[in-house]
Structures are given as structure tokens and as C-alpha cells.
């Protein structure tokens, strides 16, 4: 009986555990399914802070900053502590031939001298040299005193850091424009779906009414078939609009570095941005391009190239460096480190002067090569500046064109809505045919699409214009 109770208790505990796990998973799934509500401001803030492209550019700034600090380190003394131990396995021998040492004379006799000379010529004396143990430790230090090329190269690293910062800002400018355009495209897809859905709902309602009249014998079968065909013709547009919403929202989530399966809900609408159409964006071209990131990058590249040319010229100047060595040596056949007599210090201070005289014209050709690159950059800058000015003028024309189309489309929507209401009433009273009602519905559909398209085109042109002006989204200037 007790065992049965224990088994039941264990089963209840396991059941409770799995129930809690399932409940937690269900709550997690519900939390993941909660739509992420997005304004344009939210989308921009997330993208500018989380997009991988922006973060890569920020890391590049850090990388170039570290490189600049590394270059500055070359101006400071370099100090190294060295140590070396060697053990001689077989000592080197030195041979002495034809030499007489005290106590090593020839044999007694009158001819002993000639015999000694022949013997010494054939039997050389071998003497081992060196010691078994050798230890060397010490400090080496050095630093440049006069290094014109090194000094000049520091300005190259400083210009490289400034260029990396501008590229980082340029990545944020590009990201701001891309996110805005993706957000506007998603809004257009939502508006297109809403318009097609309204037209489809109107067609469904007309079909229902015509079907009731047909069943009572009040209208011909032709009217019923025509209404059904109109409804079926709109249905593919609704399906395509739904697909467009999914695709455009995924593109937006990709730029924001958000999970592609995470549902989002755009809280804005294209109509909200219609008030910006009447604002004046026609600034002078030169004023608008002052903060253009591409032109600023070329300007910084020009400064960097000028520093490179100057550095290459510094290669003709002499250099002077200071060096210091302090070593402590130990040598002996026995490793007795406590023997002070076998330890000997050694120190030296040196000045090294290097004067470039001739190297086959490599330095001169290097200067000419850098100057050619500098002229090439100036030509590219002139070309890109003209292209940017042309792009600004094109965007001004796009804004003007979109404004005119918006005004016409807005008036057309008002007229089309009124025309549809009149056509609907006339058809209900029998004063007009189904053809007129369908034409009115089609005109209303096209007017609404043109209205949204005009706002979309204006905002897209404005996003491109702001990109040319170097606009970066912040918490205070989101449009």
C-alpha cells in the first residue's frame, strides 16, 4: 500500500512538472507571436543601433584608432629584457704547428734541431678553447631622435581615423535612407491591400445584392455573371497585396536585424506623411551637399593622400636614433652562479645616423607615384561632385512631379468617391446599368491607388534627397 502511494506521488509530481513546462512553452509562444508595433522612429532607432553593417563600420573606427595609437608608440623608447643560456657539448680546438714552447725542446744530440723542426711540422698542438656554460642577460633600449618620415606618417593615421568615422556616419546615412524606403514600401503594400480589399468588399456586396434580385427575377443573368466576374478579377489582386505585405515587412525586419518570423505591425499610414508634401525642400545644391557623406569621404581621402605624399618626401631626410645596451655575462666550465669573479657586466650607448644617398631612384619614383594618385583622386572628386549635383536636381524634379500628382490624385479620390455613391444610388433605383457601377468602382480603385502612389513617390524621393544631404536619423529629427 505504501509503495502504491509513493508511485502515485511520483506520477503526480511528474505530471505537474510536464504541465508547468507545457504552460511555460505556451506562454513563450504567445509572447513570440505578439506583434512588434513599429513607428518609423522605432524602426530607424533599432536599425541604426543593431544593423550589422553599422556595427561593422563602428568596429572599423575602433580598429583605425588602435592603429593610430600603435603608430604613436614608435616615438617612445623600446625596451627589451633579453636572456640567453648556452651549453657547449664539444669545445672548439685550435691547432698550433711549427711552434716551440718552453720545456718542449728536441732530443739530445747534434742533429736534434733538424729532427725537432720535422717533428713540429707534422705534429701540431691542439688546444681546446671556450667554456661549458655561458649565460647572458641584459636590457636593450632604443628610440628615434630624428625621424621625419615617422613623424609625417602619424598624420596619415590621424586622417585614416577621421575617414573611418566618416564612413561610419555614411553607413548610418545609407541605413537611414534604406529603412525609410523599406518602411514606406511596407506602408504602400498595406495601403494597396486596404484599397483592393475595399474594392473586393464592394464587389462582394454588389454580387450579393444582384444575386438576390436575380433570384427574384428582377435582373438578368448577365448582370449576375458580370458582377461575379468583377469580384473574381479583384481577388488575385488581394492575394498579391497580402504577399507584398509579407515581403516588404521581411525586408524591413532584415534591415532592423529582427527575427524574420517575428510579426510586426506598422502603426503609421501613408496619409500621415501627406502633410510633408507642401513643405519646401528646394535648397541650393551647394548648400544641400555640404554634409554629403560621399563628398566628405573624398575630401578626407584627399587629406590622407596629401599626408602620404609628404611622408614619401621625408624619405630623403636623414634619421638619427639612440641605442643603449647593458648585459651581464657569466662564463665557466662549472655552473657556479655564486662565483662573482665569473660574472662580468657590459654596457654601451650608441647613436646611429642614417643619411639616404642613392637607392636607384626608388624614393623619387615613390613621390611621383603618390602625386599621380593625388591627381587621380582630384579628378574623381570633380566627377562625383557633378554626379551628386545632378542627382540633387533629379530628386528636386521628382519631388515637384510627385507633388503635382498628389494634388491631382487627391482631387480625383474625392470625385471618384462621390461618383461611386451616385452610380450606386442610380443603379439601385434602376436609372443606370451595372456597367456604370463597375466603371465607377474601377475609377475609385484607380484613384485611391494613384493617391497612395503619389505620397509614396514623394517620400521615396525625399528619402533619397535626405541621403544626398547626409541626413542621419536621431531621436529628435525622424521624419
Name the domain boundary from 306, 331, 355: 355
Q: Is 41's pLDDT higher than 80?
A: yes
Grid cell listed for 282 = 528646394
Residue 204 included in any domain: yes
Q: What is the CATH number of the domain that holds 330?
A: 2.20.200
Residue 18 included in any domain: no
**pLDDT tens digits for range 234-264:** 899 999 999 999 999 999 999 998 898 899 9
**pLDDT tens digits for range 340-373:** 667 788 899 999 999 999 988 999 999 999 999 9
pLDDT band for position 127 (cuts 50, 70, 90): confident
Grid cell listed for 171 = 553607413
* Alpha carbon distance 401, 458 (integer Å): 8
Going by their DSSP bridges, the two strands 133-146 and 264-266 should be labelled as unpaired
Give the position of cell 646611429.
352
Q: What is the CATH number of the domain that holds 310?
A: 1.20.1600.10
Residue 169 included in any domain: yes
Grid cell listed for 220 = 438578368
Of 479, 470, 464, the C-alpha closest to 398 is 464
* Alpha carbon distance 380, 32 (integer Å): 50
Same-domain status, 140 and 211: no
Same-domain status, 259 and 408: yes
Residue 100 included in any domain: no
Same-domain status, 372 and 340: no
Of 269, 52, 219, 66, the C-alpha closest to 157 is 66
Averaged pLDDT, 387-414: 93
Same-domain status, 361 and 259: yes
Q: Is 408's pLDDT higher than 80?
A: yes
Residue 476: predicted pLDDT: 59
Neighbours of 135 (CB within 10 A): 17
Same-domain status, 208 and 256: yes
Q: Is 125's pLDDT higher than 90?
A: no
Task: Please tell me the total count of domains within the chain.
Answer: 2
DSSP class of residue 324 equals E
Of 229, 206, 63, 78, the C-alpha closest to 141 is 78
- Output the average pLDDT for the chain: 84
Q: Where are the beta strands (DSSP E) in 47-164?
A: 78-87, 92-96, 125-129, 133-146
Same-domain status, 235 and 369: yes
DSSP class of residue 350 equals E
Same-domain status, 284 and 340: no
Residue 422 included in any domain: yes
Averaged pLDDT, 457-476: 87
Alpha helices in 257-292 (DSSP H): 285-288
* Alpha carbon distance 207, 227 (integer Å): 5
Question: Which structural domain range is residue 328 located in?
Answer: 77-86+127-146+319-355
Residue 151: predicted pLDDT: 93
pLDDT band for position 19 (cuts 50, 70, 90): very low
Grid cell listed for 151 = 613623424
pLDDT band for position 107 (cuts 50, 70, 90): very low
Name the domain boundary from 355, 375, 406: 355
Contact indicator for 125, 96 with CB cutoff of 8 Å:
yes
Same-domain status, 131 and 189: no
Residue 478 included in any domain: no
Percent of the chain's residues with pLDDT above 70: 85
Length of the chain: 479
Residue 121 included in any domain: no
Helix (H, G, I), strand (E, B) or coil at 64: helix
Same-domain status, 376 and 445: yes
Same-domain status, 132 and 59: no
Averaged pLDDT, 59-88: 92
Same-domain status, 338 and 236: no
* Alpha carbon distance 447, 439 (integer Å): 12
Q: Is 5's pLDDT higher than 50?
A: no
Q: Is 407's pLDDT higher than 60?
A: yes
Name the domain boundary from 355, 383, 408: 355
Residue 113 included in any domain: no
* Alpha carbon distance 116, 120 (integer Å): 6
Same-domain status, 323 and 376: no
Query: Could you tell me which residues are beta bridge partners of residue 92?
Result: 129
Amino acid at each position: 500500500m505504501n509503495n502504491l502511494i509513493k508511485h502515485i506521488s511520483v506520477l503526480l509530481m511528474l505530471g505537474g512538472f510536464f504541465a508547468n513546462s507545457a504552460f511555460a512553452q505556451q506562454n513563450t509562444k504567445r509572447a513570440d507571436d505578439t506583434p512588434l508595433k513599429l513607428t518609423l522612429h522605432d524602426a530607424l532607432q533599432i536599425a541604426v543601433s543593431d544593423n550589422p553593417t553599422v556595427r561593422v563600420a563602428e568596429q572599423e573606427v575602433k580598429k583605425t584608432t588602435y592603429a593610430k595609437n600603435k603608430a604613436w608608440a614608435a616615438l617612445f623608447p623600446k625596451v627589451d629584457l633579453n636572456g640567453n643560456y648556452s651549453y657547449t657539448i664539444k669545445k672548439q680546438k685550435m691547432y698550433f704547428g711549427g711552434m716551440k714552447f718552453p720545456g718542449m725542446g728536441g732530443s739530445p744530440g747534434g742533429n736534434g734541431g733538424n729532427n725537432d723542426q720535422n717533428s713540429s711540422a707534422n705534429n701540431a698542438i691542439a688546444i681546446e678553447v671556450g667554456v661549458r656554460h655561458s649565460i647572458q642577460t641584459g636590457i636593450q633600449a632604443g628610440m628615434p631622435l630624428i625621424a621625419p618620415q615617422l613623424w609625417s606618417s602619424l598624420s596619415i593615421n590621424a586622417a585614416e581615423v577621421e575617414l573611418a568615422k566618416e564612413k561610419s556616419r555614411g553607413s548610418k546615412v545609407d541605413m537611414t535612407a534604406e529603412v525609410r524606403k523599406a518602411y514606406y514600401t511596407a506602408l504602400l503594400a498595406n495601403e494597396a491591400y486596404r484599397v483592393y480589399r475595399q474594392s473586393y468588399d464592394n464587389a462582394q456586396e454588389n454580387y450579393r445584392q444582384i444575386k438576390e434580385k436575380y433570384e427574384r427575377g428582377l435582373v438578368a443573368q448577365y448582370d449576375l455573371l458580370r458582377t461575379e466576374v468583377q469580384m473574381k478579377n479583384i481577388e488575385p489582386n488581394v492575394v498579391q497585396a497580402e504577399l507584398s505585405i509579407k515581403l516588404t515587412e521581411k525586408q524591413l525586419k532584415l534591415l532592423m536585424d529582427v527575427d524574420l518570423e517575428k510579426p510586426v505591425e506598422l502603426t503609421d499610414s501613408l496619409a500621415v506623411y501627406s502633410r510633408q508634401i507642401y513643405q519646401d525642400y528646394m535648397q541650393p545644391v551647394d548648400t544641400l551637399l555640404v554634409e554629403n557623406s560621399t563628398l566628405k569621404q573624398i575630401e578626407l581621402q584627399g587629406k590622407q593622400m596629401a599626408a602620404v605624399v609628404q611622408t614619401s618626401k621625408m624619405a630623403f631626410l636623414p634619421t638619427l636614433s639612440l641605442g643603449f645596451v647593458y648585459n651581464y655575462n657569466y662564463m665557466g666550465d662549472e655552473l657556479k652562479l655564486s662565483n662573482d669573479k665569473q660574472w662580468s657586466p657590459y654596457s654601451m650607448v650608441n647613436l646611429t645616423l642614417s643619411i639616404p644617398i642613392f637607392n636607384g631612384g626608388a624614393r623619387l619614383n615613390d613621390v611621383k607615384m603618390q602625386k599621380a594618385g593625388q591627381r587621380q583622386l582630384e579628378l574623381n572628386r570633380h566627377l562625383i561632385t557633378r554626379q551628386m549635383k545632378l542627382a540633387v536636381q533629379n530628386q528636386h524634379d521628382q519631388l515637384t512631379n510627385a507633388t503635382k500628382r498628389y494634388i491631382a490624385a487627391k482631387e480625383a479620390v474625392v470625385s471618384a468617391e462621390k461618383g461611386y455613391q451616385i452610380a450606386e444610388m442610380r443603379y439601385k433605383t434602376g436609372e443606370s446599368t451595372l456597367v456604370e457601377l463597375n466603371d465607377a468602382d474601377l475609377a475609385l480603385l484607380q484613384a485611391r491607388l494613384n493617391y497612395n502612389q503619389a505620397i509614396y513617390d514623394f517620400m521615396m524621393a525625399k528619402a533619397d534627397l535626405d541621403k544626398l544631404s547626409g541626413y542621419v536619423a536621431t531621436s529628435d529629427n525622424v521624419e
